[in-house]
Each structure stands twice: as structure tokens, then as C-alpha cells.
Amino acid sequence: MTDSTRTDYLSTEAQERRDSGTMDYLDLDTKDETFLDANEIVLNMGPQHPSTHGVLRVILKLDGEKVLGTECVIGYLHRGVEKIGENRTYAMFNPYVDRMDYVAAVSNGLGYCEAVEKLLNAEAPPRAQYLRVILTELCRIASHQVWLGTHALDIGALTPLFYCFRDREEILKIFEKYCGARLTTHAFRIGGCIYEAYDGFEQDCNKFCDAFVPKLDEYEELLTTNRIWVRRTKGVGILNPEDCIALGVTGPVLRAAGVKWDLRKAQPYEAYKNFDFDIPTGLNGDTYDRYLVRIEEMRQSVRIIRQAVEGLPQGPIMAKVPKVIKPPVGEIYHSIEAPKGELGYFIVSDGSTQPYRVRVRPPSFVNLQALDKMVRGLLIADVVAVIGTLDIVLGEVDR
């Protein structure tokens, strides 16, 4: 049960529990019965399971194939990002945040840079803001493509994976041309952007948008009315708005439940107030609605990118921030709408060059908590669908 290589850190109490075999993770009501008497069995899924999207371990309590309850065991990818933040300067910590939600690294960087800028009472110049919006929205599309590809693969549709990764490549190429990196981009700096848009950046973006919308129709052709897809997703993993709010679930999962809430509209940051876009919402809060919402979000992202490229202002791309960043003493909480939900940074400054405390409020971590409520009463196969529809990234859950 416990990582055997690290026994040196086991407290004596834990060692005793391990040796006596009472270190169970799930409190079974069936303690007095033997295994064969029990109606319920406990099945361990993960951490090395292809459909858990990383190292997520879910302990399922089953009655036959029906799920009676779950418990998530997380932390396998814990790297102590918040502790690292306390031991790095503000600028040095910037690349680390890319490693949390590694399929949407640009969004992570945006949230962090904005939080520190707020603490400095600075604001990125308009051109930088537009560049940031373009890249972040591209990143949202890329993140949703990874989600769609893997989610469909989990449910049994193989083709969308190839389509999505093929088209995502175009976005990664733009990232690569812009900043040299494809995944963990470190595209933004505190105070704006460090790289000017390369020659042909606008054309590349427009070209991508033009090509992508028909591709999106292609995805929908494969799935939206596909009978198997509909049967596997409709009515599965329903989360009603009240539960969503009580569980702190945000992002497409919340919107699919019918709550029209998106931080880009509710508390606009960057240049988002300048753009015209809609917030798609669902009706039933099931897996199918979440699929529709994310597909529509990609279309809206294309709209935003087009407007931002069209209106990309001229001017500086870096605000006047000091070379050594020393924010005044204070605390700030700033959050953005990441592809997965509300991504918040709470930073405490003690006036030195290193943050006194960096807290990351990760959307995946909080959303994952809803898994138990969503899968109770469903079948094992649906658990796979629900994990996919939550769109978690374990790098962000564990940090």
C-alpha cells in the first residue's frame, strides 16, 4: 500500500499499521465477513491505468459492476510546487507554473503573471494583452483537443484522437514559432510578453482559424449524432447546478449544468472585455452536455482569436516593471478562466524578492472531488467516461 522505498519516513504508528495489515484506505462495512460472504468488492483502478489520464488511483467499491462509492488517492505527481515557489524569485517561479497543467501551460503562466502584476500594481500594455489573449485562446483549443481525443478514446472512438492531435499540431507550431517551446511555453513574463509577434503571426493565426472550423465540424460529424457516443454519454455523470456550486466545480463542468458563469465575462481580465463572445451552457449537466459545451467553447475561442488578431494594437509589449521584482508587502488573490475552470493564485509578499507564500487554486483538484458524487450508481465503464469528462490533469491535481 505504501511506497516501499520510503519507509524511512513512515512514522512508527504508520509502520505498525502497515505491518499489522490494517492500513486500509476504505472503511468497509463488511469487516466481520469473509471476502466471499461480502456482496461488495473493492477494486483498485490505477494509478497506472490508461484511462485515468495520468497517475490517478481510484478505489472503487462495487456491487457486481455497479459503483457504490469511490475514493481517490492522489499525490503521486506531487512536486511541491508551492514550496518551490517560496524558494524562488518571482521571475524564477514563472516557468514552474507551466508544469502544473501541462496541456494548458500558457493559461497557467497568464494567471501567475497577472497575479504578480496585480501585486505590483502594474498592467501589461494593450499589445501584450492582445497577444496574451490570442495565445491563451489557442491554448484553450489545444487543451480541449487533448481532452476530446483522449475522452473519445476512453469511450471507444479511436479516430477523434488522431484528428485532434493532428490539428493541435498547428497550434503547437504557432507556439514554437512564437517562443521556441511547444508545451511548457513560458510565453509570458511579469509585465507583459518578452517576445514580439513573429513575422506572419497574424496570418498563421487566421490560417489556423480558417482551417480549424471545418475540422471542428468533422469532429462533430464523428461524435455528436453517433449512436454509441450518445448512449455512452447521455445521462451519465449528472451533476446539477446546486451540487456544482457546493463542490466548487468550475469551468465547462459548471456551465454544462446550466450556470452561465465564466470569469472572462464575470470578472474580465486582460483585454477580454473588448471581445464579443458567448458563454455556451448546457441543460442536463451530463457527459454529453459537457462535450457540447467544450466543442462550442472551441468555436468561441476561434471568434476571440479572430477579433484579437484583427484588432491587435501596435505599441510596447512590456510594462515598466523593475528588473528585480520586489512587490510591496501585501496579499493578492487573482484567478482566471483556465480551460479547466477557475485557476487562482494567492500570493503573499513580504517585500522581498521571493514570494512568502504562493498558493495555487487548481481547477482540476477541486473538480476531481466531484467524481464520487458523479459515479455513484453507475457502471465501471462509466467511471472511465466520467474521469474523461471532468478533464483533469494530474500535474495540476497534485502540483
Contacts with another protein, residue ranges (CB under 8 A): 1-3, 5-6, 8-11, 13-15, 18, 23, 74-75, 78, 80, 82-83, 86-87, 118-122, 243, 245-249, 259, 261, 266-267, 320-324, 326-333, 335, 342, 344, 346, 348, 356-357, 359, 361, 365-366, 369, 398-399
| 31 vs 227 by CB, closer to another protein | 31
> Is the Cβ of residue 4 or residue 34 nearer to another protein in the bound state?
4
Q: Which residues contact 165 (CB under 8 A, 6 or more apart)?
A: 145, 146, 149
Q: How far is the CB of 72 from another protein (least distance, A)?
A: 9
Whole-angstrom distance, CA of residue 107 vs CA of residue 338: 6
Place of cell 508587502: 329
Q: Report the alpha-carbon distance of residue 141 to residue 112 in Å, rounded.
A: 20
- What whole-number distance in Å separates Cα of residue 105 and Cα of residue 347? 19
Question: Minimum Å distance from CB 196 to another protein?
Answer: 19
Nearer to another protein by Cβ, of 273 and 323: the residue is 323
Give the whole-angstrom CA distance, residue 1 versus residue 11. 15
By the 8 A CB rule, do 349 and 355 touch?
yes
**Beta sheet of 57-63, edge-to-edge order:** 40-45, 57-63, 66-73
- In angstroms, the CA 22 to CA 51 distance is 29
Q: Which is nearer to another protein, 5 or 314 (CB)?
A: 5
Name the minimum Å distance from CB 78 to another protein. 5
Please spell the DSSP secondary structure of 11-79, one letter per residue.
Answer: -HHHHHHHHTT---SS--TTTTS-TTT-SEEEEEE-SS-GGGSSS-EEEEEEETTEEEEEEEE--TT--
To the nearest whole angstrom, how small is the minimum distance from the Cβ of residue 381 to another protein?
26
CB of 80 to another protein, least distance (A): 6
Which 8-state DSSP code applies to residue 355?
A: E
H or E element that contains 345: strand 341-349
| Distance, CA of 277 to CA of 104 (rounded, Å) | 21
Gap between the Cα atoms of 132 and 279, Å rounded: 20
Closest contact distance (angstroms) between CB of 93 and another protein is 15
Cβ at position 11, least distance to another protein in Å: 5
* Structural contact between residues 112 and 399, judged by C-beta atoms closer than 8 angstroms: no
Find the shortest distance in angstroms from Cβ 33 to another protein: 23
Q: Which is nearer to another protein, 23 or 211 (CB)?
A: 23
Judged by beta carbon, residue 85 or residue 149, the one nearer another protein is 85
Give the contacts of 49 (CB within 8 A, at least 6 positions apart): 56
Quote the least distance from Cβ 14 to another protein, whole Å: 3
How many residues appear in the chain?
Answer: 399
The DSSP-derived string for 84-146 is HHHTS-HHHHHHHHTTTSTTSHHHHHHHHHHHHHHHHT----HHHHHHHHHHHHHHHHHHHHH
Identity of the residue, 178 or 272, whose beta carbon is nearer to another protein in the bound complex: 272
Min dist CB 100 to another protein, Å, is 13
Looking at the Cβ atoms of 1 and 211, the one nearer to another protein is: 1
In the complex with another protein, the residue whose CB is nearer, 371 or 386, is 371
Nearer to another protein, 227 or 273 (CB): 273
Report the nearest approach of another protein to the CB of residue 334 (Å): 9
Instruction: Please identify, using beta-carbon distances, which residue of 128 and 142 lies nearer to another protein.
Output: 128
